[in-house]
Structure 1
Amino acid sequence: MQSVEDHPIREALLGLLANGPVTANQAARELGESSGSCSFHLRQLARAGLVEEAPVLPGSGSGRRRPWRLTTAEPELTPLLRELEDEGYRRWIAGRDAVDPRWHADEAASHVLWLTPAEMAEVAAAVRAVAGRYAHRENPDARPADARPVALVSRVFPLLSPTDPPEKPS
C-alpha cells in the first residue's frame, strides 16, 4: 500500500514546505506544476495530517494565496524530513559548480561537545535564536533580492553508547 507522500508532487511539496510556508501558486512556480495540481496535492497532504494552513500574513489575501506549512513533526514524518534534508544536501554537492561561487561557502559542520543538560539546551536555544532572526523572510516581501532558501539542519542530542542503556531520569 502506498503512503500519501509517495507521489512525486507531494514529495516535492513536502521538500518545499521544509523551508517554510508556501502557497499553491508559489509551489506551482517552483515545481513547474499547475497551481490547481499543487492545491489538490496540498489538500491531500492536509487530509493525511502532514500539512496545515498557515496564518495568512496581513495584506496577502486569501484563496489561492493561502499559505500552507508542515504540521508539527509527527514521529512518522521525521524520517521523511531527514531524507529530504539529505537529498537536498546531495543535490547541493552534485550541483554546486553550476551555482554562483558566492554560495560555495558550504558551512557544514559537525562537532562532538561535552555538555551538561543545561548547556545542551543553551546550545540548541542559541541555534534557534540565530535562525529566528531570519524567520520573517517566509514573507517574500521581506527577502533581499539575492536571498534563496538555505537549509539549516541542527540536531543537538546526547550520544549514547551502543552497549549502555539510556540513563534513567533522576
Structure 2
Amino acid sequence: MDDHPVRTALLELLADGPVTANEAARRLGESSGSCSFHLRQLARAGLVEEAPVPPGSGRRKPWQLRVLDPLMRDLEDEGYRRWRAGRDQVDPRWHTDDAASHVLWLTPDEMAAVAAALRRVAEPYASREQADARPPDARPVALVSRIFPLLPPEDDQWTA
C-alpha cells in the first residue's frame, strides 16, 4: 500500500476507533467522497473493514482497522515520531510526561490487575469519539500500553 497522505491519516484516525467516511472527512478536512474512496482502497488492501453497526443506527457505515498488531505498532511509532519532531510548535501545556516505560516483577494475577487498572483509567474518556461528547480544547491523544512477560534468553527456560 502506497504512502498516500489521506490513507495514512485515515489509518491514524481509525487507530482511535471506528469512524464513518463522513466523520473522517469532517475530522480530516477532506471530502466524504475522497475518504470513502480511500477507505475502500484500504479495505482492498486488507487493512480496514466495515465495523458492526448496532441495530437502529440508520445508514451509518463505520470502518475499523482490520490488522492490529503490526499496523498499530507502525501507527504508534509514526505518531510518536511526528510528536517528537513537531512538539515545539504545540502549546507547552501539552508537553507533559509523554513517555513511560517500566520493567515490573509481577505474578500473573498482578499482571492482570495492572492491565485492568490501565483499562479503567482510559475508560471514562473512551466515549468521546463524537465531537459533541468532548471538551472544546480536547485533542486526540495516543495512550499506548502493552503488558506482557519478558521471555528469558533461550538457555534459561521458565517452568509452568
Q: 1:18-167, aligned counterparts within 5 Å?
A: 18-47=15-44, 48=46, 50-55=48-53, 62=59, 66-71=61-66, 74=67, 77-164=68-155, 167=158
SS for the counterpart of 2:127 is helix
Equivalent-residue separation in structure 2 for 1:123 and 1:136 (angstroms): 22
- One-letter identity of the residue aligned with 1:33: E
Q: Check conservation: 1:21, 1:54, Cα contact below 8 A.
A: no
Give 1:54 deviation, angstroms. Answer: 4.8
Gaps of 5+ in 1: none
Shifted more, 156-165 versus 113-122: the winner is 156-165
Gaps of 5+ in 2: none
RMSD: 2.5
Equivalent-residue separation in structure 1 for 2:55 and 2:83 (angstroms): 31
Identical pairs, percent: 68
Equivalent-residue separation in structure 1 for 2:89 and 2:54 (angstroms): 35
Q: Check conservation: 1:137, 1:143, Cα contact below 8 A.
A: yes
- Structure-2 change in CA distance of 1:82 and 1:156 (3 Å): same
Normalised by the length of structure 1, the TM-score is: 0.79
Partner of 1:11: 8
Q: Check conservation: 1:28, 1:38, Cα contact below 8 A.
A: yes
Give 1:7 deviation, angstroms. Answer: 4.5
Count of matched residue pairs = 158
